[in-house]
């Protein structure tokens, strides 16, 4: 497919997933050979490991600077005209693979924030509370509820934070083991991050493998649920074997305080998105229906106000501030710093702005690598030495996706970087888009929440460190260090194991001749 074809795109949106010429020779040549074209992305990976793993700085804006410097450094190694290098950056950034993911993230971000602000966690606490769960069962139930919550809101990082703040203290009070509680929360986050149609990693896995998101979700259910059933059993067994702390505080009172049955209404909002997604509706349409349902539920049941969903905070000297002051979405603010637009919709959408910019630059660097020939070199070496048959090809896909997600803290960024490689290895053996997307996202979701430098672990641990300030009875030595939780993230380890076994045995394997994925613009 020709990426520099000026012909307007018509028909199937997948037609626009065009990347450059059909030239067999690289378009950009580098000093040091075609391997040098990997320099921007290698520089970024080293920067990401240094920043996130060694310094524990989980900042997407820091990663943006890393990839920008990588792109600048790479340019100095170009032979001849640097304009072709610069043009390739634009070629990469304008690909629909990036734009489609960004649009989906922003829609999903608004939806997730509406559910969080609408008391969805409070509803899940009510469920745990009403069931009268004790210390032994609490980690297993926490896993299920965190999985349910993350499947609704799509963001595992957000779920890790919400559950550490609300469920972790409750579990400790009830006498559940703290390490097991943190492991169960992270496991739930992995489940939802992997399965939710509104999850950023689900979206990237589908888009990079040219598949519809609804079909991807339905086809990956088998891997996720097998791992989850075993993980649930693991938390039951470990829950009875590992003792907790004796706090001597009224756990029931704290649970009652956070319990809010009405928040369960958002199971309907979540069901609307999942149902329409798996039924094959367009990404924007499916999440929009979820947003409408959540807004109606929040307003009718008085879970939030109009102003909490969207609010124009205008200065008093604004010409229409006075006459329109009665509007529920207008607030006149005296403080100049408070001027702006706020609310769930803004907070949800803006949460993805930095990630969107980062992904655009990573895709640009990947395009440099493709145009410069390093991608071909790695692919040819892999096909010759690793992916020598379909079983080895799938094991190579599992291993490479696991490796890059194991070293890069922000798993979405790692997934975008490895996406083209997974696609090429899989297509060579005619593995269909669903199978490729599932192998890719299984490792992305799992490895994003296991190691001490993983984004999900860091998000949860950061929230945990603030808990002693919120609860008098909670001492700093009751907290879990990230290294301690590594063996207890059962869903993560099991998900990787399921895919290794699936690659060896052929479980769930589908070829393009068995079933073709639907067009990528649908979820």
Which of 63-71, 83-91, 216-224, 458-466 is the region at the interface with another protein (rule: CB under 8 A)? 216-224
Out of 247, 376, 473, 497, point to the residue binding another protein (CB under 8 A): 376
Helices 156-174 + 251-258 axis angle, to 10: 150
Out of 219, 304, 396, 411, point to the residue binding another protein (CB under 8 A): 219
Q: How far apart are CA 12 and CA 15, in angstroms?
A: 6
61 part of the interface to another protein, by CB under 8 A:
no
Half-sphere exposure of 430 (CA within 13 A, CB side): 6
Out of 62, 275, 307, 399, point to the residue binding another protein (CB under 8 A): 275
Rank residues 221 and 329 by Cβ distance to another protein and give the closer one. 221
298 part of the interface to another protein, by CB under 8 A:
no
Which of 242-250, 333-341, 430-438, 467-475 is the region at the interface with another protein (rule: CB under 8 A)? 430-438
Q: How far apart are CA 494 and CA 243, in angstroms?
A: 23
Assigned token pair, 323: 């006459």
Assigned token pair, 219: 């086809």
Please give the helix or strand (H or E) that residue 311 lies within, else none. strand 311-314
Assigned token pair, 237: 């067994």
Of 144, 125, 162, 131, nearest in space to 259 by CA = 125
Minimum separation from the CB atom of position 382 to another protein (A): 13
Assigned token pair, 429: 């053996």
278 part of the interface to another protein, by CB under 8 A:
yes
Out of 7, 31, 317, 513, point to the residue binding another protein (CB under 8 A): 513
209 part of the interface to another protein, by CB under 8 A:
yes
430 part of the interface to another protein, by CB under 8 A:
yes
Q: What three-state secondary structure class fits 215?
A: helix
389 part of the interface to another protein, by CB under 8 A:
yes
Out of 208, 298, 313, 454, point to the residue binding another protein (CB under 8 A): 208
58 part of the interface to another protein, by CB under 8 A:
no
210 part of the interface to another protein, by CB under 8 A:
yes
Q: How far is CA 46 from CA 50, 67, 70, 367, 452, in A?
A: 6, 10, 10, 18, 17
441 part of the interface to another protein, by CB under 8 A:
no
- Which 410-429 residues touch another protein, going by CB under 8 A? 420, 423-424, 427-429
57 part of the interface to another protein, by CB under 8 A:
no
Minimum separation from the CB atom of position 155 to another protein (A): 23
Cα end-to-end distance, the chain, whole Å: 24
- Which 222-261 residues touch another protein, going by CB under 8 A? 222
**Helices (DSSP H) in 18-119: which residue ranges?**
39-48, 60-75, 83-93, 96-117
370 part of the interface to another protein, by CB under 8 A:
yes
Q: What three-state secondary structure class fits 522?
A: strand
Minimum separation from the CB atom of position 389 to another protein (A): 5
171 part of the interface to another protein, by CB under 8 A:
no
507 part of the interface to another protein, by CB under 8 A:
yes
**Length of the chain in residues, anyone?**
523
Assigned token pair, 71: 């792109």
Q: How far apart are CA 316 and CA 494, in angstroms?
A: 57
Residues contributing to the site for another protein (CB under 8 A): 1-3, 14-15, 17-20, 22, 208-210, 214-215, 218-219, 221-222, 275, 278-279, 370, 375-376, 379, 389-391, 420, 423-424, 427-430, 433-434, 505-516
């Amino acid at each position: 497919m020709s990426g520099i074809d000026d012909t307007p795109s018509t028909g199937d949106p997948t037609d626009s997933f065009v990347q450059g010429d059909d030239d067999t020779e690289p378009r950009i040549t580098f000093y040091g050979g075609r391997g040098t074209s990997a320099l921007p992305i290698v520089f970024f990976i080293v920067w990401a490991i240094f920043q996130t793993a060694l310094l524990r700085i989980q900042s997407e804006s820091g990663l943006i600077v890393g990839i920008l410097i990588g792109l600048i450094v790479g340019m100095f190694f170009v032979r001849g005209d640097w304009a072709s290098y610069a043009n390739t950056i634009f070629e990469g950034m304008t690909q629909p693979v990036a734009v489609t993911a960004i649009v989906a993230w922003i829609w999903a971000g608004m939806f997730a924030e509406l559910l969080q602000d609408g008391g969805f966690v409070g509803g899940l606490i009510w469920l745990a509370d009403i069931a009268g769960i004790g210390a032994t069962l609490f980690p297993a139930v926490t896993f299920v509820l965190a999985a349910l919550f993350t499947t609704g809101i799509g963001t595992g990082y957000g779920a890790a934070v919400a559950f550490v703040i609300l469920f972790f203290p409750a579990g400790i009070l009830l006498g559940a083991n703290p390490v097991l509680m943190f492991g169960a929360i992270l496991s739930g986050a992995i489940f939802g991050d992997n399965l939710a149609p509104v999850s950023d990693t689900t979206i990237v896995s589908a888009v990079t493998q040219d598949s519809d998101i609804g079909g991807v979700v339905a086809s990956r259910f088998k891997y996720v649920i097998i791992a989850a059933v075993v993980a649930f059993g693991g938390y039951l067994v470990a829950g009875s074997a590992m003792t907790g702390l004796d706090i001597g505080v009224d756990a029931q009172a704290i649970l009652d305080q956070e319990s809010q049955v009405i928040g369960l209404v958002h199971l309907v909002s979540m069901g609307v998105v999942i149902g329409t997604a798996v039924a094959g509706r367009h990404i924007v349409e499916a999440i929009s229906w979820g947003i409408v349902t959540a807004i109606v539920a929040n307003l009718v049941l008085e879970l939030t106000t109009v102003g909490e969903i969207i609010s124009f905070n205008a200065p008093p000297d604004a010409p229409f501030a006075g006459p329109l002051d009665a509007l529920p979405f207008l607030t006149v603010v005296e403080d100049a710093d408070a001027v702006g637009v706020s609310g769930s919709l803004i907070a949800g959408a803006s949460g993805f702005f930095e990630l969107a910019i980062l992904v655009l630059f990573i895709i640009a660097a990947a395009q440099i690598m493709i145009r410069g020939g390093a991608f071909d070199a790695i692919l040819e070496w892999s096909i010759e030495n690793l992916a020598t048959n379909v079983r080895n090809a799938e094991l190579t896909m599992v291993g490479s996706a696991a490796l890059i997600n194991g070293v890069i803290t922000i798993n979405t960024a790692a997934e975008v970087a490895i996406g083209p490689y997974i696609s090429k290895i899989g297509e060579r053996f005619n593995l269909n888009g669903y199978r490729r997307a599932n192998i890719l996202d299984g490792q992305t979701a799992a490895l994003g929440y296991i190691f001490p430098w993983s984004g999900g672990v860091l998000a949860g641990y950061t929230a945990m460190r603030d808990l002693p300030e919120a609860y008098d009875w909670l001492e700093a030595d009751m907290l879990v260090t990230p290294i301690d939780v590594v063996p207890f993230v059962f869903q993560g380890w099991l998900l990787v194991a399921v895919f290794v076994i699936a690659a060896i045995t052929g479980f769930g394997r589908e070829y393009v001749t068995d079933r073709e994925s639907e067009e990528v613009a649908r979820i």
